[in-house]
Amino acid sequence: MLISIGSMAVSFAALVVVLLVYLPSARRRVAAAERALRERDAENQALAGRLIVAQEAERRRIARDLHDDLSQKLALLNVEIDLLATQGIVDWHRREQRFRRLSRAVAEITSDVHDLSHELHPSKLRPLGLVTALDALCRDLSCKYGIIIDFHHIGGPVTHDADVCLHLYRIVQEGLHNVVKHSSATHAIVEVEVGSAALDLRIADQGRGFVPTAAAREGIGLVSMRERARIVGGQMIIHTKPAGGTRLGVRVPTVAERSREQSARVVSIRSAMHT
Ligand SMILES: Nc1ncnc2c1ncn2[C@@H]1O[C@H](COP(=O)(O)OP(=O)(O)OP(=O)(O)O)[C@@H](O)[C@H]1O
Ligand SMILES: [Mg+2]
């Protein structure tokens, strides 16, 4: 009896020691986890705020493009047509010149509408596929901003579905806009490499580069690119440093690889349950 009371006292003392040693460190771990959660929450809120501000800025830009540019051009066109109707020009050569001027103005407006609608949604993507749409995007931006953008397609055809392709297209669009806006580079390279296990997307420039931790607080472009990569089951990696250019890579597993990975995971969970 005496022995069992003694051993109970020893176990109780051991329990007290264990609690005294582990409780504070467990408390510290919980407090650290809570702090990290609060920080993540604050970051998410700040990001949501920046997203709304950016959305509004984008709407303002589209409204400005529509109002200051397109509607002004249409108003001018209307005046030209009115004048042509009332002036009753009989000289066929002068009349032809005026019609040609009108035709050029209409072509310019058509191209503006095409650019704007393409910016809102890349309509070429679905019928032509990712590779052709990216090739066209590189050519368009190259013409518009006067920088050389080389596009390379390596490997087989892209087999990812349309939603994945739209995210990848938007990633390249933002990546190239960043090259134009921030890098001061005169040359950029976009590569799509389709392998048996993954699709690799690369955007590279030899421009001024940047410090990624500082950039995280600036805009929403890089954040949304990373988020798009995550949504399609891939990940984005950035290699950059001041004066060292920027290389941005996105790797997305192919459909076959993803289902192979999933079945491998199921097998390992099953075998873990049976051991
Ligand atoms: N290719 C690049 N070369 C140099 N600096 C870059 C490049 N890409 C991004 N940056 C830097 O990273 C910052 C963040 O880029 P991000 O795309 O997130 O925002 P942003 O372009 O400033 O604004 P937006 O929200 O309109 O995209 C930029 O302000 C710029 O300093
Ligand atoms: Mg940007």
Answer whether 254 contacts ligand 1 (Cβ < 6 A).
Answer: no
Mean of pLDDT values over 176-185: 97
For 97-125, the pLDDT digits (tens) are 999 999 999 999 998 898 888 888 888 89
Please report, in angstroms and rounded to a whole number, the separation of the first and last CA atoms in the chain: 41
Distance 113 CA to ligand 2 centre (A): 23
Answer whether 182 contacts ligand 1 (Cβ < 6 A).
Answer: yes
Asked if residue 97 and residue 218 are part of one domain, the reply reads no
Asked if residue 243 and residue 151 are part of one domain, the reply reads yes
For 34-43, the pLDDT digits (tens) are 999 998 888 8
CA distance linking residue 47 with residue 44, whole number of Å: 5
The DSSP letter of residue 218 is T
28-37, 198-207, 212-221, 263-272: lowest mean pLDDT where? 263-272
Question: For all residues of the chain together, what is the average pLDDT?
Answer: 89
Say if CB 165 and CB 129 are below 8 A apart: yes
Residues with Cβ within 8 Å of 8's Cβ and at least 6 positions away in sequence, in order, are: none
Asked if residue 172 and residue 107 are part of one domain, the reply reads no
CATH code where residue 191 lies: 3.30.565.10
For 130-163, the pLDDT digits (tens) are 999 999 999 999 999 999 999 999 999 998 999 9
Asked if residue 138 and residue 103 are part of one domain, the reply reads no
Q: Is residue 234 part of a domain?
A: yes
Pocket test for ligand 1, best of 182, 184, 208 (most atoms within 8 A of CB): 182
Distance 153 CA to ligand 2 centre (A): 24
Answer whether 221 contacts ligand 1 (Cβ < 6 A).
Answer: yes
Answer whether 210 contacts ligand 1 (Cβ < 6 A).
Answer: yes
Domain final residue, candidates 101, 120, 139: 120
Q: Is residue 140 part of a domain?
A: yes
Q: Is residue 10 part of a domain?
A: no
Answer whether 207 contacts ligand 1 (Cβ < 6 A).
Answer: yes
Q: How many domains does the chain have?
A: 2
| Closest ligand (CA of 224) | 1
Answer whether 122 contacts ligand 1 (Cβ < 6 A).
Answer: no
Asked if residue 83 and residue 139 are part of one domain, the reply reads no
Asked if residue 196 and residue 149 are part of one domain, the reply reads yes
Domain that holds residue 116: 47-120
Asked if residue 112 and residue 176 are part of one domain, the reply reads no
CA distance linking residue 137 with residue 205, whole number of Å: 16
